[in-house]
Amino acid sequence: MIKHTKTLKVRVRDRHVPLLNRMARSVNFVWNFVNELSQRSIKERGVFLSAFDMHPYTKGAGKELGLHSQTLQCIAGEYVARRKQFKKVRLNWRKSGGVRRSLGWIPVNTGAAQWKNGQVYHNGHYFKVWDSYGLSQYKFRSGSFNEDARGRWNFNVVVDVQAEIPAGQDRIGIDLGLTDTATCSDGTKLEAGRFYRGLEEKLAIAQRARNKTQVKTIHAKIANRRKDALHKFSRTLVNRCGEIYVGNVSSLKLVKTTMAKSVLDAGWGQLKTMLDYKCAHAGIVFKEVDEAYTTQTCSSCGSLPGSRPKGIAGLGIREWTCSGCGVTHDRDINAARNILAAGHGRLAVGIPVL
């Protein structure tokens, strides 16, 4: 058994939405205040305020704004962290109204929320939730209330959990693609395009009718389908493997091309993130490797034969036969096998039979 942290997400009942919206507007007010305060300090004195420096300016405002005093500290801490991350003097304002309004966010510090009488208790208020995890068995750490695009609120909280170390010892290489979201070196595949299949026509009708509520609902359903499939796929791999290697293809670069829709639907970044933290929790190896020439290299003899698929013209070739050793390859499985070999530190050229 190993101990690690996990974030649990539960839906808050809709009757609490007006209260959470008021709290979210107060959070936006505090964020904009510290944003302006930081900007003026840098401009007038050349001093970058830390979160600790900001606390005296917001002290005592929690009661009037309807926020927990530790929430004010969390806002200042988050602001400073994002300012350093993006290396900006001033960040974007959080908007409480209009079409470009910011989604609601109410940070909760460790100890500022707890489970009482079958509900989440925070800042003197009880919030009824759909408890699908049995929250009474956990001690809450930091968390937040978050609003989604449909106006629904969720409570996200970090907790400590005990997990068993998987006994799996398989070694897997994963090639990410568009025809199949992921192809493993043992032939296992996660089909692409399954997430929005059957919903494209409904989405198009809703968009033409300018039914924003229906559009948001369909997009949420597609996102839930994608997340569910990726969770199941990644969990299966983590349970049976001791080492997982994946190609370092970048979705951020490809979304700027004509393949943007397919790339975004495939969810490469989300799959990598899931594998990363699940492998870390399970204590197994996860590594991204350079996938250069993994498609063109023969995984049997390790050569770069003349019959290999090349360039953009070769993207449509799904199977090819090595002119050197005569072995016929599935394009994606061959790449996954080469990624597995590269994960062990071997070069693309000279890869033995796997």
**243-278 exposure pattern, b = at least 16 Cβ within 10 A, e = fewer:** bbbbbebebeebeeeeeeebbebbbbebbbebbbbb
- Average model confidence (pLDDT) across the chain: 89
Residue 163 clears pLDDT 80, i.e. is over it: no
134: left (phi over 0), alpha (psi -120 to 50) or beta: left
Residue 327 clears pLDDT 80, i.e. is over it: yes
pLDDT digits (tens, 9 = 90+) for 63-92: 999 999 999 999 999 999 999 999 998 999
Residue 352 clears pLDDT 70, i.e. is over it: no
- Residue 156's nearest CA partner among 26, 4, 11, 273 is 11
pTM assigned to the model? 0.81
CB 142 within 8 A of CB 108: yes
Instruction: Note the pLDDT of residue 194.
Output: 67
Residue that the structure tokens 């840098």 belong to: 42
Instruction: Note the pLDDT of residue 346.
Output: 55
Q: How far is CA 156 from the centre of its chain?
A: 14
pLDDT band at 39 (very low <50, low <70, confident <90, very high): very high
pLDDT digits (tens, 9 = 90+) for 236-266: 999 989 899 999 888 888 888 877 878 887 8
Q: Do strands 180-184 and 170-176 pair parallel, antiparallel, or not at all (unpaired)?
A: antiparallel
Residue 114 clears pLDDT 90, i.e. is over it: yes
pLDDT band at 104 (very low <50, low <70, confident <90, very high): very high
| Burial classification of residue 3, based on how many CB atoms lie within 10 Å of its CB (0-12 exposed, 13-18 middle, 19 or more buried) | exposed
Residue 353 clears pLDDT 60, i.e. is over it: no
% of residues, the chain, pLDDT over 90: 58
Query: Half-sphere exposure of 1 toward its Cβ, with a 13 Å CA cutoff?
Result: 4
CB 123 within 8 A of CB 111: no
Mean pLDDT of all residues in 28-50: 95
pLDDT band at 306 (very low <50, low <70, confident <90, very high): confident
Tell me which amino acid residue 174 is: I
Q: Is 203 helix (H, G, I), strand (E, B) or coil?
A: helix
pLDDT digits (tens, 9 = 90+) for 169-216: 789 999 998 888 899 998 898 887 667 778 888 999 999 999 999 999
Query: Which residues are CB-neighbours of 200 under 8 A, at least 6 positions away?
Result: none
Query: Which residues are CB-neighbours of 189 under 8 A, at least 6 positions away?
Result: 180, 182, 183, 332
Cα separation values, 133 from 16, 136, 195, 349, Å: 20, 9, 26, 49
Instruction: Note the pLDDT of residue 151.
Output: 92
What's the token pair of residue 130?
A: 């759909």
Instruction: Note the pLDDT of residue 37.
Output: 96
Instruction: Note the pLDDT of residue 298.
Output: 86
pLDDT digits (tens, 9 = 90+) for 40-66: 999 999 999 999 999 999 999 999 999
Mean pLDDT of all residues in 292-319: 79
